[in-house]
Amino acid sequence: MTAPALQERALALVEEGFHTLPERYLGAPKGFDVTYHVRLGDVGHTFEVRCTEHRARVRKGISARPADVVIGTDAEIAARLRADDANANANLPRLARLAEVWEKINRAARDTAEYNLERKPLVFSVFGLLAEALN
């Protein structure tokens, strides 16, 4: 199979995963309202997922609503995560660690930009946080 054909297949799996997400959504705590932008850099598509306490809404493309979380990935990785959905519970602790680290990185980057801090320590801390999360 050629690279473009593989990419199209991965994108089709990802689109199916996003399309069925509202049916699979289990809900969230009271007052939860978060908008995610999932950017698939290799195929140039972004999906917007808005999750509230009762439902998830998905759209291909983004609205004017700002994202609370932006996730950059590629179609192959997203398709593999979708294909591994049967083992999702086994991956939850790892995903939780990665989400926690991602939030720390976002906070550190925001503080660095807001207070005009030196960026070199930020870069080193990002590598340290990622290494810690993957262990």
What pLDDT, on the 0 to 100 scale, is given for residue 122?
A: 84
49 in helix, strand or coil? strand
How far apart CA 79 and CA 14 sit, in angstroms, is 5
What pLDDT, on the 0 to 100 scale, is given for residue 83?
A: 63
How far apart CA 35 and CA 87 sit, in angstroms, is 25
pLDDT in tens, 43-101: 778 999 999 999 999 999 999 999 998 888 877 777 676 665 555 556 557 767 777 88
pLDDT range class, residue 105, cuts 50, 70, 90: confident
How far apart CA 22 and CA 10 sit, in angstroms, is 20
Per the model's pLDDT, the better-predicted residue between 19 and 75 turns out to be 19
| Span 8-36, average pLDDT | 85
CATH fold of the domain at 3-134: Nonspecific Lipid-transfer Protein; Chain A (3.30.1050)
pLDDT in tens, 108-131: 888 888 888 888 888 888 888 888
